[in-house]
């Protein structure tokens, strides 16, 4: 036997670490596993149950730990990191309240299919179920909002469980995975062995789309008279923006992106009709409603996109490409389903397209585009440029100009989010970071921190409102600690604007609890955290202030824009209406 050991050690030095066998504590295994996984940074917050892990983190320098001020922010920051890089975000929190505080962030990532691995401390195994101090059933609480979760009861299973967690989080349709680690597991010892490869008999994500279905889809696309491409966050998650762009340009067809899919196809390109859905453009929604072939790619027919499904795309034959079979025919019946990774399927589609002798019907396309341009001429995003009040849309238009469209932009949730999606034109993927599915207020600032950590030299702007920003405002302290030069664009209208808008439209103007009283002086608040604060009250000051702020490359600037209190987001499809039944300005 000793000879065999020696043989394996030889291999170890020869470069495969598969056989490395050293006895470490669970906490050390945690750190080593993350390093082996290629993780550089963990967002977290310490506490009793994770003390052994924090002790191990303290004694090494390969893995950076970012200390947030609230566990929700740790998950959002890891989420922003993941969305802007395509790499998994990693979170470490303690048991009990640490875990429950993280749940909002986990659910946010789950709804938008973001790969996160969240480690939660747990009370020692002997105390589990005893209502111990800071005990909560983390696996039970997170089960409905994770792709999968694990409770590690034996230190010998720790490394392989961590490997599985990353594998599950990152492959197939990505999503958050929780690993619950009891305190005694972190202190027990085991031989360390981090498997390079992993296979699970119960989990085998598809790697290719069905060739016959792909061919059928391409034929259908080429015979379309009024085609429409409708693409979502799946394109960005699959890193398939270049294939999508190539295919769309080759076909010459109109394309619309969902809120999650902005940036997958350049927003400034003529073929892009902008965002669709509840606050989408007139041309995009009318294009959807009147198309004869709908090509949905990495999009899931969310209710905010379809409106009333009974009135959705009444004349269309539907092609749907998605990695998740459960997304297909869930809300809208699909005629040609293709289950597979979007990048692979698009590559195959491009190949078939290029080989095909058939070309799109030029006359039909001409007529279709003529119709689309008529819809586009409605100029559905127009707003009052001559107002004495600052229009929020104007701030975002200027933000786009001042940053030359190159910033990473995060947002919170509400009117400002919709205006940002409408007015900031994203030409590249992974630049627009927002909570689409769950609609989590408080997401913007911590997410921006994660983005800035991932891209220290890039400009990162957080578009928010006075409601949302106060849900995670404590993170201004984290920004100070790590010197994150974020630019916060606070569109302050003194209202929970989207709530107020719905109350105006659907509740006869009874503005229940949508007025934000007792707001802080945001300028002095920012300054008290050691940042730069500005308040902008006049339209004429918007552009100079933005220019001044973005010149301060190494400072966080909090820009409090006092905007028109009564401005609404248009166009709007009221809930239950069809895509052709929009409220225009």
Partner 1 sequence: MRHIISILMENEAGALSRVAGLFSARGYNIESLTVAATEDESLSRMTLVTRGTDEVIEQITKQLNKLIDVVKLMDMHEGPHIEREMMLIKVRAAGPAREEVKRLADIFRGRIIDVSDTIYTIEVTGTSEKLDAFVGAITRTDIIEVVRSGVTGIARGERALHL
Identified catalytic residue from 288, 471, 498, 572 = 498
| Beta strands at 227-231 and 293-297: parallel, antiparallel or unpaired | parallel
DSSP 69-114: SSHHHHHHHHHHHHHHHSSPEEEEE-STHHHHHHHHHHHHHHHTT-
Interacting residues with partner 1 (CB under 8 A): 139-140, 143-144, 147-148, 151, 168, 200-203, 324-326, 329-330
Residue of 497, 499, 484 lying closest to 557 (CA atoms):
484
> Which long-range contacts (C-beta less than 8 Å, at least 24 apart) are formed by 525-531?
525/473, 525/476, 525/558, 526/476, 526/488, 526/556, 526/557, 526/558, 529/476, 529/477, 529/479, 529/480, 530/480, 531/476, 531/479, 531/480, 531/555, 531/556, 531/557, 531/558
Minimum CB–partner distance for residue 246 and partner 1 (Å): 31
Is residue 378 within 8 Å of residue 282, measured between CB atoms? yes
Q: How far is the CB of 137 from partner 1 (least distance, A)?
A: 10
CB of 304 to partner 1, least distance (A): 19
Q: How far apart are CA 155 and CA 410, in angstroms?
A: 39
- Catalytic annotation present for 192: no
* Pick 139 or 516: Cβ nearer partner 1: 139
CB of 139 to partner 1, least distance (A): 6
Active site residue 134: yes
Asked whether the beta carbons of 491 and 519 are under 8 A apart, the reply is no
Would you list the DSSP string of 375-440?
A: HHTT-TT---TT-SSBPHHHHHHHHHHHTTT-SEEEE-SSHHHHHHHHHS---STT-EE---SS--
Of the pair 200, 519, the CB lying nearest partner 1 is at 200
Give the three-state DSSP class for 297. Answer: strand
CA nearest neighbour of 252 among 238, 235, 269: 269
Burial group, residue 364, by CB count within 10 angstroms (0-12, 13-18, 19+) = middle
The catalytic position among 134, 481, 504, 535 is 134
From the candidates 7, 58, 133, 506, which is the catalytic residue? 133
CA distance 85 to 146: 21
Closest distance of CB 368 from partner 1, Å: 32
Q: How far is the CB of 437 from partner 1 (least distance, A)?
A: 15
- 302 is written with which tokens? 């969310």
Q: How far is the CB of 345 from partner 1 (least distance, A)?
A: 18
Which residue, 328 or 372, is less far from partner 1 as judged by CB?
328
Give which of 500, 554, 563 is closest to 532, Cα–Cα: 554
Nearest approach, Cβ of residue 106 and partner 1 (Å): 15
Nearest residue (CB) to partner 1, 151 versus 390: 151
Residue 53 CA from chain centroid, whole number: 28
N-to-C CA span, the chain: 80
498 is catalytic: yes
Q: Across-strand partners of 535?
A: 560
Cβ distance to partner 1 smaller for residue 198 or 367? 198
183 is catalytic: yes
Among 71, 348, 397, 567, the active-site one is: 71
CB of 127 to partner 1, least distance (A): 17
Pick the closer one to partner 1 by CB: 147 or 183: 147
DSSP string covering 331-356:
SS--SEEEES-HHHHHHHHHHHHHH-
Give the residue with the Cβ less far from partner 1, 40 or 324. Answer: 324
Identify which of residues 202 and 268 has a Cβ nearer to partner 1 in the complex.
Answer: 202
Catalytic residue among 164, 183, 347, 398: 183
Which of 326/519 has CB closer to partner 1? 326
Around 1, how many Cα atoms within 13 Å sit in the side-chain half-sphere?
Answer: 0
Q: Which is nearer to partner 1, 263 or 337 (CB)?
A: 337
DSSP for residue 50: G
Question: Residue 386 is encoded by which pair of tokens?
Answer: 């001559």
Signed CA dihedral, 97, 98, 101, 106: sign only: negative
CA-CA distance, 84 to 429, in Å (whole number)? Answer: 8
Alpha-carbon distance of 490 to 534, in angstroms, equals 10
| Residue 401 annotated to the active site | no
The nearest distance, CB 94 to partner 1, in angstroms, is: 21
In the three-class reduction of DSSP (H, G, I as helix; E, B as strand; rest coil), residue 368 is classed as helix
Instruction: Give the distance from CA 538 to its chain's centroid.
Output: 33
Residues acting as catalytic residues: 71, 133-134, 183, 498
């Amino acid at each position: 036997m000793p000879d065999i050991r020696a043989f394996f050690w030889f291999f170890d030095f020869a470069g495969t670490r598969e056989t490395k066998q050293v006895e470490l504590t669970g906490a050390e295994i945690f750190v080593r596993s993350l390093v082996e996984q290629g993780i550089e940074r963990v967002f977290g917050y310490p506490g009793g149950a994770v003390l052994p892990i924090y002790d191990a983190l303290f004694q090494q320098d390969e893995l950076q730990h970012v200390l947030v001020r609230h566990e929700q922010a740790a998950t959002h920051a890891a989420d922003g990191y993941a969305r802007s890089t395509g790499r998994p975000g990693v979170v470490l929190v303690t048991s009990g309240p640490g875990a429950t505080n993280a749940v909002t962030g986990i659910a946010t990532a789950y709804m938008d299919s973001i790969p996160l691995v969240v480690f939660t401390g747990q009370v020692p195994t002997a105390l589990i179920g005893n209502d111990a101090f800071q005990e909560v059933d983390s696996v039970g609480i997170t089960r409905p909002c994770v792709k999968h979760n694990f409770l590690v009861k034996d230190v010998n299973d720790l490394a392989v469980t961590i490997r599985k967690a990353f594998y599950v989080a990152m492959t197939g349709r990505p999503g958050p995975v929780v690993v619950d680690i009891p305190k005694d597991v972190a202190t027990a010892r085991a031989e360390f062995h981090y498997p390079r490869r992993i296979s699970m008999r119960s989990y085998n994500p598809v790697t290719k789309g069905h060739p016959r279905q792909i061919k059928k889809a391409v034929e259908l696309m080429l015979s379309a008279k009024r085609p429409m491409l409708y693409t979502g966050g799946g394109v960005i998650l699959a890193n398939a923006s270049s294939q999508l762009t190539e295919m769309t340009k080759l076909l010459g067809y109109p394309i619309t992106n969902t809120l999650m899919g902005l940036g997958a196809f350049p927003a400034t390109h003529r073929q892009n009709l902008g965002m669709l859905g509840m606050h989408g453009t007139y041309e995009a929604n009318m294009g959807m409603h009147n198309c004869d072939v709908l090509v949905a790619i990495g999009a899931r027919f969310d209710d905010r996109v379809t409106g009333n499904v009974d009135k959705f795309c009444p004349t269309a034959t539907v092609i749907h490409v998605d990695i998740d079979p459960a997304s297909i025919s869930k809300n809208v019946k699909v005629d040609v389903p293709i289950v597979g990774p979007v990048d692979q399927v698009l590559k195959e589609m491009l190949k078939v397209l290029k080989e095909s002798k058939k070309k799109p019907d030029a006359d039909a396309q001409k007529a279709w585009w003529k119709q689309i341009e008529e819809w586009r001429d409605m100029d559905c995003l127009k707003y009052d440029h001559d107002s004495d009040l600052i229009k929020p849309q104007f701030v975002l238009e200027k933000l786009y100009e001042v940053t030359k469209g190159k910033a990473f932009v995060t947002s919170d949730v509400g009117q400002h989010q919709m205006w940002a999606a409408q007015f900031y034109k994203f030409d590249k993927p992974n630049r627009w970071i927002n909570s689409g599915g769950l609609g989590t207020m408080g997401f913007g600032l911590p997410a921006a921190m994660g983005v800035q950590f991932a891209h220290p030299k890039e400009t990162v702007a957080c578009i928010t409102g006075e409601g949302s920003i106060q849900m995670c405002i404590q993170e201004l302290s984290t920004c100070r600690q790590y010197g994150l030069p974020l630019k916060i664009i606070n569109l302050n209208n003194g209202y929970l604007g989207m709530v107020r808008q719905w109350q105006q439209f659907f509740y006869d103007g009874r503005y229940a609890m949508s007025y934000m009283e007792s707001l802080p002086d945001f300028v002095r608040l920012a300054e008290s955290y050691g940042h730069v604060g500005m308040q902008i009250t006049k339209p004429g000051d918007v552009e100079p202030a933005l220019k001044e702020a973005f010149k301060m490359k190494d400072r966080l600037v909090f820009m409090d824009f006092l905007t028109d209190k009564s401005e609404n987001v248009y166009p709007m499809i009221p809930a239950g209406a069809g895509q052709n039944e929009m409220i225009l300005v």
